[in-house]
Amino acid sequence: MVADKGYDAAANREAARERGVCPVIPYRSNTKNKPAFFAKALYKSRARIEQAFGKLKRFKRVAMRCEKTAQNYASFVALACSVILIKSVHRA
């Protein structure tokens, strides 16, 4: 599980470990007893996910949730993802 510093709490980390998930949450600057190891490479991959959501939210209907039913919303998200993919392949 990759998360922001806003989720840096012992309870959040423990809940993730109980579910068998390895939490990758950076420690806050004022946290005491920080462990020496932090998986920075995994945390950097979080940027790709944030960028993908940013591209999706450029589509006004996705960002504002104009579609009322879950099926229509999911269909429009799929359409938006298709447009994003086609644009990225076409540029390459």
* HSE-CB of 60 using CA atoms within 13 angstroms: 0
List the chain pLDDT tens, one digit each, 92 residues. Answer: 787 777 788 888 889 889 998 888 887 877 777 777 777 787 787 778 888 889 999 999 888 988 889 999 999 999 999 999 998 887 65
Nearest alpha carbon to residue 77 among 51, 47, 57, 91: 57
The residues near 28 (Cβ < 8 Å, ≥ 6 apart) are 5, 8
Q: Is this structure's pTM higher than 0.95?
A: no
Beta carbons of 38 and 46 less than 8 angstroms apart = no
Nearest alpha carbon to residue 4 among 37, 29, 28: 28
